[in-house]
Amino acid sequence: MITAAEWAIIQLSLKVSLVAVLGTLPVAYALAWLLARRQFPGRSLLDALVHLPLVVPPVVTGWLLLILLGRRGPIGAMLEEYLGVTLVFQWTGAAVAAAVMALPLMVRAMRLSIDAVDRRLVAAARTLGASRWYAFRTITLPLTLPGIMAGAVLGFTRSLGEFGATITFAANIPGETRTLPLAIYTGLQVPGGEGAVTRLAIISILLSLAALLVSEWLIRRSTNGRSHVV
């Protein structure tokens, strides 16, 4: 069925995508919240910055990551010096690339949900003794769960499919950064590699299908009975 080499690729891809999505979730939510609720100078700029990885070709994003997070880059040098973390050529680098590419999708979905929260309910929670933070945790956060889930699914599938930024920033190292899309690409580069490509593509699709089903189930479970029917 699935060869050992394919298993290794699947595991790597899942690791990269999961770390990317879980690591980005809180950041994306915070950004979504800021953009939805706060007016501040530079808000539009931040919005544009968040969308940047969508607009700029992935290869350019990878190139920018290389400049910023590379060992000689301003942030990369600090990461290396103070935390001993190197990203380039590491699976962590692939996760960072995937996270950056997934960010705009996650922020948008979450923001849509945050915008839709009925503030009267938050006000009600406050009168019942909830601090801003507690009301956020118990009212806003659960009410925006559909947006969080949608964002997570979008981000996860986008991460699973991320290619250009990853190969540019983290290279295509078997076992370290050769995720499913990179393996697929590699297969496409040789004439007659279509067979292997098809297998890997089907695996990708099944993984995302599984992610979709899980998320649908979670959403259904968590919103069951909550909405009015007639």
Partner 1 sequence: MSFEIVLNHTVGDCRLSVDFASQVPRIAVTGPSGVGKTTLLNCIAGLITPETGKIVIGGRVLFDSTERISIRVEQRGAGYVFQDARLFNHLRVAANLAYGERLRQAGHSGVDRERIIETLGIGSLLDRWPASLSGGEIRRVAIARAVFAHPRFLLLDEPLSSLDQERAAEILTMIEHLGTAIGIPMIYVSHQPEETARLTDTILQLAPR
Partner 2 sequence: APTGPVILGPSSLQEALGEVADGWAAKGHSRPQLSFAGSPATARQVSAGAPADVILLADELWMDRLEIENLLAAGTRRALLGNTLVLVAPAGSNTGVADDLANLPALLGNDRLAMADPDTVPAGRYGRMALESMGLWDKLARKVAPAENVRAALALVEAGEAPFGVVYSTDLAASDKVRMAAAIPEGSQPPIRYPVAMLASSSHPDASGFLAFIASAEAEVIFARYGFTRLAER
Provide the binding-site residues for partner 1, judged by CB under 8 A. 120-121, 123-131, 134, 138-139, 142-143, 223, 225-230
- Cβ proximity to partner 2, 190 vs 206, nearer residue: 190
Residue 192 interacts with which of a copy of itself, partner 2, partner 1, none, CB < 5 to 8 Å by class: partner 2
> What one-character DSSP code corresponds to residue 83?
I
Residue linked to tokens 């899980």: 214
Within 44-63, the residues that bind partner 2 by CB under 8 A are 59, 62-63
Query: d(Cα 193, Cα 186) in Å, to the nearest integer?
Result: 9
Letters for 61-90 (x = contact with partner 2 by CB under 8 A, - = none) are: -xx--xx--xxxx--x---------x-xx-
20 and 159 Cβ atoms separated by less than 8 Å: yes
For residue 54, state whether it binds a copy of itself (rule: CB under 8 A): yes
**Among a copy of itself, partner 1, partner 2, none, what does residue 212 contact (CB within 5–8 Å per kind)?**
a copy of itself
**How many angstroms separate the CA atoms of 193 and 190, rounded?**
5
Q: How far is CA 143 from the centre of its chain?
A: 21
| Among positions 186, 197, 208, 214, the unique one binding partner 2 when judged by CB under 8 A | 186
Q: Which of 99, 96, 91, 97 is nearest to 12 (CA)?
A: 91
